[in-house]
Structure 1
Amino acid sequence: MPRLLLSNPQKTLLPKFQFFYSKGIPSSNLSVVLSSNPSVLGYNIDNCIIPNFKSFKDFTRCDDSEVFLAYKNCSQILTCNFQSIVAPNVAVLIEHGVPDSHIMTELVDHPRIFVPNHDKFRTTVEEVEKLGFNPLKHNFLLAIRALVQLSKSTWKRKFNVLKKWGWSGKEIVSAFAKYPLFMTLSEHKIAATMNFMVNTMGWKSSVMANRPILLTFSLERRIIPRCSVLQALISKGLIEKTDVGLLIESTEKVFLERFVTPYEDPYLLKLYKEKLGLSGN
């Protein structure tokens, strides 16, 4: 922020650092977060930062480190007016029956969804309810998080990308209901993953429609390395087919236990590490 370069560090910057230090925030954490989210340094410490910090802490009943985590996740938490922007949006969720525990967790981990214009936020919540999401389930907030990020035009473009891969409108809506955040992926990411799954692996497009979370995993760091092991197992006649969800969604430990270790073939682990880019380790 150019104006910070012209400010008096003793008067404008030091009080803010001292405030965060007083809350037990380690200097190493503070420097990293402020370098990536420096906007808070341009706001008044007494009229903005401290009142918002206190309001957030009082409202969520969380500790100082969690308030700082929320700021790390969204700098607007300490720069917008908490009482006039965040609190009214929280009230909408309470009004629609979202459990307090879900709201508080979301406030700390994903506070960005609470800072849109109040009318837009209310409309989004109502849209999610109309789509059939249950306010008592965590997916309700995931759907809000997704729709807050998506403009109508962006939603339409992604809708069309999925239709090109054979998904029906009903399948897209069903997939969104299962895992809303998959629609926040870029169009390129969706297309690239679908291309690999369908054209390289030979799986039906409907597999991903039924398990949309598969699209969210990294091609380079998860999907390709694991699928390479599967292809090797098939080529060696050691396996015929497997559950795609188990292959992609399982933890590293479970994946190795199910697809590598039992076959006692050093090539499998070597191949897996090569695809992960770990062959030199």
Structure 2
Amino acid sequence: MCSHLVFKRAIYYSFFSPPQCHCQYLLRFPLSTKTQPKELPFIADYLISSFGFSLNRALKASADSHLTTIKSPAQPEAMVKFLTDTGLSHSQIKSVVSLQPALLGYNADEILRSKVREMMEKGIPGEVLVQLFRYNPVVLQLQDTLARLLFWRDFVENKDKVLLKVISRNPFLISLHIENHILPRLNLLKEYGLSNNRHMVACLVTNYGLTNKHMVWVIGHCNLDHLRQILDLVEELGIRRGSKKFLSGLIAIANLSICKIKSNVEFFKNTYGWSQEEVCAAFRKYPLVLRLSEEHVRSTMNFLMSKVGIEARNIALRPLLLGCSIEKLIPRYNVLNTLKSKGLKKRCRLQLACLASEKRFREKYVMPFEKQVPGLSEAYEADVAAFGGKVPVSRNRP
């Protein structure tokens, strides 16, 4: 019975019942509906005290079938000891348990020790195993973990340091089934001349997140029919199959729909008068041009055409400019324009200036001219701040 109904009925009886009935009724229906807190499962308390889990996370983890039967610290501490013996630091073990708390419920003697021993016998270095525990501990639950590791070690030409980078930067790649996911896609790529594993490995270990993410998607997740259509489209857009640029073109547009890619092509044609050849020329030089948002392209093209004075068709020959943000373009253009107006630098290529790192740009275009143009550095920093960029660190000054 709801508490507010109980309260109303109690009030009713207080007026229309004999006094002796009042206490009896109130005792039968207490006003408080709060329940006593349940005792925490042992493993939930252990996760909170030993690994800093929140109450909600600990309770959710404790419901895992591998953890529900744990009633003492013996089992989880045995696993922690095993992880320590494998070579993981305390912080790494904490990271592993945070990612995969169910690992504490596994029998280190019967399952994991035998797997680790077998991997080491096959030449898988301990460092690789540490990274597996740290970045993707769930893979150790798979029956064919060793076969997957051997495949990827062969893929990177038995270079353990490269294998370490592949695992650490793509932690779930090794979870993908080799026969069902990886090989069909790699075989299709070979049909289009992409048989050099080194180029693909370079994409897997690069620090550039977009390239890394899209390479994993291409070889592990992309629908085969879609992948074939994308490969054909890359060729139609002017990049010869088997060339070094072909993989870059594929990665740039692989996760876009065919309709979206064709829509982007038509956008450049209809809005800026680019021909099919000019679109292809831009794509060959800068494949990411076809995944830029219309809003970004409009603002950048407007600045380049109206302020810098570059014709729309000439921008197709320098498409890297479209990849630059307005926050970088405007301050750097202003510096180059100042130097040119004062005759201090006759040839100022905006594209080269915008591709330079912040440090390199200041060293080449700002610092050498601060005496001839007093306040140049301050004006540049003010422009960067005004357009939402990061203000350069002043210690770079001579």
Q: Same fold (TM over 0.5)?
A: yes
Question: Partner of 2:230 in structure 1?
Answer: 124
> Over the residues paired in the alignment, what is the CA RMSD in angstroms?
4.0
Name the aligned partner's letter for residue 71 of structure 1: N
Give the superposition deviation at 1:227: 1.1
Within 1, Cα distance between the matches of 2:259 and 2:281? Answer: 20
Q: 1:167 aligns with which of 274, 291, 295?
A: 274
- Structure 1 CA distance, aligned partners of 2:306 and 2:243? 35
Are the equivalent residues in 2 in contact too, given 1:85–1:117 (CA < 8 A)? no
For 2:142, which of 38, 44, 47 is the aligned residue?
47
| Unmatched runs of 5 consecutive residues or more in structure 1 | 35-39
What is the match of residue 121 of structure 2?
none
Report the structure, 1 or 2, having the larger helix content: 1
Q: Does 1:56 align with 2:152?
A: yes
Residues 1:262 and 2:327 are matched in the alignment: no
Deviation at 1:180, TM superposition (A): 1.1
The 1:100/1:23 distance shift into structure 2, 3 A limit, reads farther
Task: State the SS of the aligned residue for 2:243.
Answer: coil
Quick one: percent identity of the two aligned structures? 27
Q: Retained in 1: the 8 A contact 2:230–2:258? A: no
Could you tell me which residue of structure 2 aligns to residue 66 of structure 1?
165
Task: Specify the SS of the correspondent of 2:170.
Answer: helix
Q: Deviations over 1:133-168 (max 9, x none)?
A: 234432110111123122122223322332313322
Structural mapping, 1:22-101, within 5 Å: 27=92, 45-47=140-142, 50=145, 52=148, 55-60=151-156, 61-63=158-160, 64-71=163-170, 75=172, 77-98=173-194, 99-101=196-198
Taking structure 2 as the reference length, the TM-score comes to 0.56
Letter in 2 for 1:153: C
Is 1:183–2:290 an aligned residue pair?
yes
In the alignment, the residues of structure 2 paired with residue 173 and residue 4 of structure 1 have an alpha-carbon distance, to the nearest angstrom, of 54
**CA contact 2:331–2:383 (8 Å) conserved in 1:** yes
| Aligned counterpart, 1:113 | 218
Q: Which amino acid counterpart does residue 102 of structure 1 have in structure 2?
A: H
Where relative contact order (Cα < 8 A, 6+ residues apart) is larger, the structure is 1
Quickly say closer, same or farther: Cα 1:83–1:243, change in 2 above 3 A.
Answer: same
Distance 2:309 2:299 in 1: 14
Q: Which amino acid in the other structure matches residue 288 of structure 2?
A: L
Which of structures 1 and 2 has the bigger CA Rg? 2
Once the 2 structures are TM-superposed, how far is the Cα of residue 195 of structure 1 from its aligned partner? 1.8
In structure 2, the CA distance between the partners of 1:83 and 1:275, relative to structure 1 (3 Å rule), is farther
CA distance, structure 2, for counterparts of residue 137 and residue 269 of structure 1: 43
After superposition, give the CA deviation of every residue in 1:108-136 in whole Å (9 maximum; x if it has no partner). Answer: 44222212022322332233344442344
Which SS does the other structure have where 2:375 is aligned?
A: helix
State the 1:247 CA deviation. 2.3
- Classify 1:6/1:62 alpha carbon distance in 2 versus 1 (closer, same or farther; 3 Å): farther
1: CA distance between counterparts of 2:368 and 2:154? 53
Change (3 A) 1:41 1:256: closer
